[in-house]
Amino acid sequence: MSDDPRLSTSPMELALAEAEAAAARGEVPVGAVIVDPGGKVLAAAGNRTLELKDPTAHAEMIVIRMAASALGSERLIDCDLYVTLEPCAMCATAISFARLRRLYFGASDEKGGGVEHGPRIYAQPTCHHAPDVYGGISERRARLLLKDFFTARRG
């Protein structure tokens, strides 16, 4: 039996742990995980925009890069993404370009979301690939992480 927690933890639990780690680093608490068709974790990360001084270093962008590198392909066909917050328009577009099979997300993002809110990237006629989308996964916990983070920052 392995001691690797990735082998016994659900992908969304791992994404939430990445979000908590991001918050501990002072980053907005968003975490993401990509799994292959067999459920093996290819990549897990949290936001790193402040640390890397990179506005594109959202959790989704980081795991897409990591998984593409691990597979040696720019296409992540049949892979699934778990993320704690509804992806923004930039990340939603990258998800489409990567050809991810499914997107599972936690909390909706009425202000900055790009999937169910805002530009609704996958509903646009110019979108070449739309993953299957499942929202509300561990939503309460994901939303609470964000709420607590921003409350502490404003307090």
Catalytic-labelled residue, pool 20, 60, 74, 139? 60
Q: What is the 3-state secondary structure (H, E, C) of 52-79?
A: HCCCCCCHHHHHHHHHHHHHCCCCCCCC
Strand, coil or helix: what is 16? helix
* Cα maximum dimension of the chain: 48
Q: Residues 71, 74, 79, 85: is their CA dihedral positive or negative?
A: positive
Distance CA 44, CA 146 (A): 19
74 is catalytic: no
User: What is the phi/psi pair of residue 37, to 5°?
Assistant: -60, -25
The residues pairing with 134 across neighbouring beta strands, listed in sequence order, are 104
Task: Kindly list the catalytic residues.
Answer: 60
